[in-house]
Chain A
Amino acid sequence: MLAVNTGSDSGLTLEMPKRRDIVAIVLIVLPWTLLITVWHQNTIAPLLAAQKDDGQDGRSNSRNTFAFKDSCSLQKREIVEVVRTEYVYSRPPPWSDILPTIHVITPTYSRPVQKAELTRLANTLLHVSNLHWILVEDSQRRTPLVSRLLQDTGLNYTHLNVETPRNYKVRGDTRDPRIPRGTIQRNLALRWLRETFSVNNSQSGIVFFADDDNTYSLELFEEMRSTKKVSVWPVAFVGGLRYESPKVNFVGKVYGWKTVFDPHRPFAIDMAGFAVNLHLILSKPQAYFKLRGVKGGYQESSLLKELVTLSDLEPKAANCTKVLVWHTRTEKPVLVNEGKKGFTDSNVEI
């Protein structure tokens, strides 16, 4: 194809070499421009589309570190964008047969802000598909406040209760780290799950421990849905830091903990920083949170060390670089004007 006309060489005019040069230049440049455009299309365009996608769909969990993969699945992006818009009114979202169920275990106890906390937590959970809320009260019997609240929300729920024995209860407000709050309640929920679901059951599920005063983004629930064993992510406002997070190496494996407070704990993570696959819970029926003799900050480790090793952990939230859950705490309301007898009508529920 290369027209090597040596014949015309002899009769060289000034134009001929010029034309030949031009042809030569074109033929040199052509394959490179093709190469560059092909490479350009493959790397830049999917990245751009992914960025736009992330901007429009806050719930997209497919942050694209591999642009090449996505160039083959344009349709996926379109579906995601359409899902975004008509979202407001369906509550709770319809139950899907294929999404794994997220079992959210929340221990709660009576105090003035309880109804407010549970209300706003319910408002959050109402957006999550296939969610099962297991609310465990620290009380002798199930209170009407919580029963009514659960019924009114329309969520799929299980209402349990178990009272923390008095010698374990935190006395007054004192933060006694040797007695982790909510432990007995969480264990009851785990036991309920083991009694309700059999190991052989193929139903997929994820177990997440959500305290009633934290703040959860909707993206978090979608991140944890793909948990195979135990997945982990950063949590804001714990350990006296802006956030604590697992340390993830370049191959996506957890190798340590980025915390100041005792980073040598087996699992230096907050209760809100991990989720466990239901199957793992069911297959290790002896794994519970340790009640007695647990040092401050070791409660999570007491459960997780029975379930997984560090290398089995699955980092989520873009390899643990995004904060999707905040360990907020609600101030104790000042009720000084109630006085000894109570100024307000005690029949009014708050």
Chain B
Amino acid sequence: MATRMKLKLKTVFVLYFMVSLLGLVYALMQLGQRCDCTEHDLPKDRTISRLRGELHRLQEQMRKIEATKQPQKQPVKPSPPTIFVITPTYARLVQKAELTRLSQTFLHVPQLHWIVVEDSPHKTPLVTDLLMKSGLTYTHLHMPTAKDRKLQEGDPSWLKPRGVEQRNEGLRWLREDRRAQPGGDSQHGVVYFADDDNTYSLQIFEEMRSTQRVSVWPVGLVGGMKYERPVVEGGKVVRFHTGWRPSRPFPMDMAGFAVSLKLVLANPEACFDGDAPMGLLESSLLQGLVTIDELEPKADNCTKVLVWHTRTEKPKMKREEALQAQGLGSDPAVEV
């Protein structure tokens, strides 16, 4: 009886082992077969990797050409001063589109450090992802606007100043970061406040790179006019050409000036005043930093428009809202 039991167990065991072995062999064969499937697609994959290799080779070539060109183009300094671009941003439908095309512009500018400050209590995955994939040197910060200072739905855009806390946070981070870095070279740089819906030409960044204190230039499509600009006589700014409240201390737009990093660090208290009346936000910062005759005119003595204060329409969502009321809205998992 015992032997029969043992025999049964033995056969069961043998069977089990053979079955599992066959299964393993089958799986290995499947593995082999998968490779066979890719054999058919391998030409496509090969083309893709060949194309990518070619792309990589060409970019290497370009890099080498740039490297040999650079000694002629660049000044004696080893690396040009970094431009720190502070961009406040907030979540809305067009946010990803705006940041995408902004990053595409910045990707052309060498030595640019993008400081993105979200109006949010925490970093959002949309912006985190976008910055990671952008290929830019960046710092991702966040600072929520206090509720009473925030624009409500339906408020006109000029009712409350926007981006104040975020820009100040950018300045604060910059000051802290630079303090932690020794060496005079880390003081070389230019700070520019770039809103995420404006349009920037590549030339404006090269113009601002040589800022010693505060440099200024015209801005297109702002102040109810085709452009606003400082008026330059004898190489110095004497007054401002603007259609709206020209009596302001610095009647210009946020996109119309850049401050040298040295000046920002030398004046640790200088920041934007959220309580300033409409249109005086820029002045609230610049007043403590510079006088009008110290301003450095750029863009060909302020005769060229190299930055435009474009604004993007709010997309019409009537149908989306109607669908959502029925519970048939578009997939929220698809990021727009």
Verify B24–A90 contact, CB threshold 8 A: no
- Contact residue among A35, A88, A120, A350 (Cβ-Cβ distance under 8 Å from B27): A35
Closest residue to B14 on the A side, CB-wise?
A: A2
Q: How many Å lie between the Cα of A32 and that of B315 in the bound state?
A: 56
B3: which A residues are within 8 A, CB to CB? 6, 9
Chain B's nearest CB lies how many Å from the CB of A212? 12
The stretch of A79-87, A155-163, A299-307 in contact with B is A79-87
Verify B17–A113 contact, CB threshold 8 A: no
**Contact code string A4-31 (vs B, CB < 8 Å = 1, else 0):** 1010010000000000000010011001
Q: Is B101's CB within 8 Å of the partner chain A? A: yes
Q: Enumerate 12 A-B pairs (CB-CB under 8 Å) in ascending A order.
A: A6-B6, A31-B24, A69-B34, A80-B52, A91-B108, A123-B108, A124-B104, A216-B101, A326-B97, A326-B100, A331-B313, A337-B224
Q: Is A338's CB within 8 Å of the partner chain B? A: yes
Closest 3 CB pairs of A and B: A58-B133, A337-B243, A240-B319
Q: Is A76's CB within 8 Å of the partner chain B? A: yes
B134: which A residues are within 8 A, CB to CB? 58
Verify B227–A237 contact, CB threshold 8 A: no
A242: which B residues are within 8 A, CB to CB? 93, 317, 320, 329-330, 334, 336
- Contact residue among A55, A97, A120 (Cβ-Cβ distance under 8 Å from B199): A120
Q: How many Å lie between the Cα of A274 and that of B334 in the bound state?
A: 19
Q: How many Å lie between the Cα of A336 and that of B243 in the bound state?
A: 9
Chain A's nearest CB lies how many Å from the CB of B63? 5
A93: which B residues are within 8 A, CB to CB? 55, 58-59, 62
Q: Is B303's CB within 8 Å of the partner chain A? A: yes
Verify B27–A38 contact, CB threshold 8 A: yes
Closest residue to A349 on the B side, CB-wise?
A: B305
- Contact residue among B59, B226, B330 (Cβ-Cβ distance under 8 Å from A94): B59
For window 17-47 of B, CB contacts with A under 8 Å fall at 17, 20-21, 23-24, 27-28, 31, 34-35, 37-38, 41-42, 45
Q: Is A344's CB within 8 Å of the partner chain B? A: yes
Q: Is A328's CB within 8 Å of the partner chain B? A: yes
Chain A's nearest CB lies how many Å from the CB of B334? 6
Q: Is B225's CB within 8 Å of the partner chain A? A: yes
Interface contacts beyond A58-B133, A93-B59: sample of 8 additional A-B pairs, CB < 8 Å, sorted by A? A6-B3, A24-B13, A58-B132, A72-B45, A124-B101, A127-B104, A129-B58, A322-B334
Q: Is B257's CB within 8 Å of the partner chain A? A: no
Most central of A91, A129, A218, A237 by chain B CB within 10 Å: A237
The A interface, classified by DSSP as helix, strand, loop or mixed, is: loop
For window 46-93 of B, CB contacts with A under 8 Å fall at 48-56, 58-63, 66, 93
For window 232-257 of A, CB contacts with B under 8 Å fall at 234, 236-237, 239-243
Verify B226–A79 contact, CB threshold 8 A: no
Q: How many Å lie between the Cα of A87 and that of B45 in the bound state?
A: 23
Q: Is B8's CB within 8 Å of the partner chain A? A: no
For window 84-132 of A, CB contacts with B under 8 Å fall at 84-91, 93-94, 96-99, 112-113, 115-117, 119-120, 123-124, 126-127, 129
A329/B336 contact (C-beta < 8 A), A126-B108, A261-B319 known = no
Verify A73–B94 contact, CB threshold 8 A: no
B123: which A residues are within 8 A, CB to CB? none
Verify A123–B305 contact, CB threshold 8 A: no
Q: Is B16's CB within 8 Å of the partner chain A? A: yes
Q: Is A167's CB within 8 Å of the partner chain B? A: no
Q: How many Å lie between the Cα of A217 and that of B336 in the bound state?
A: 12
A87/B319 contact (C-beta < 8 A), A127-B104, A243-B330, A329-B312 known = no
Q: Is B318's CB within 8 Å of the partner chain A? A: yes
Chain B's nearest CB lies how many Å from the CB of A47? 14
B199: which A residues are within 8 A, CB to CB? 116-117, 119-120
Q: Is B159's CB within 8 Å of the partner chain A? A: no
For window 274-310 of B, CB contacts with A under 8 Å fall at 303-305, 308-310
A260/B323 contact (C-beta < 8 A), A86-B59, A116-B221 known = yes
Q: Is A311's CB within 8 Å of the partner chain B? A: no
Q: How many Å lie between the Cα of A331 and that of B201 in the bound state?
A: 19
B61: which A residues are within 8 A, CB to CB? 94
A321: which B residues are within 8 A, CB to CB? 334
A98: which B residues are within 8 A, CB to CB? 50-51, 54
Q: How many Å lie between the Cα of A322 and that of B134 in the bound state?
A: 17
- Contact residue among A72, A97, A330 (Cβ-Cβ distance under 8 Å from B310): A330
Verify B313–A329 contact, CB threshold 8 A: yes
Q: How many Å lie between the Cα of A87 and that of B135 in the bound state?
A: 8
- Contact residue among B23, B48, B110, B335 (Cβ-Cβ distance under 8 Å from A35): B23
Q: Is B10's CB within 8 Å of the partner chain A? A: yes
A84: which B residues are within 8 A, CB to CB? 135
Q: Is B239's CB within 8 Å of the partner chain A? A: no
Verify A31–B17 contact, CB threshold 8 A: yes
Verify A239–B319 contact, CB threshold 8 A: yes
Verify A113–B221 contact, CB threshold 8 A: yes
Q: Is B218's CB within 8 Å of the partner chain A? A: yes
Verify B31–A42 contact, CB threshold 8 A: yes
Verify B220–A350 contact, CB threshold 8 A: yes
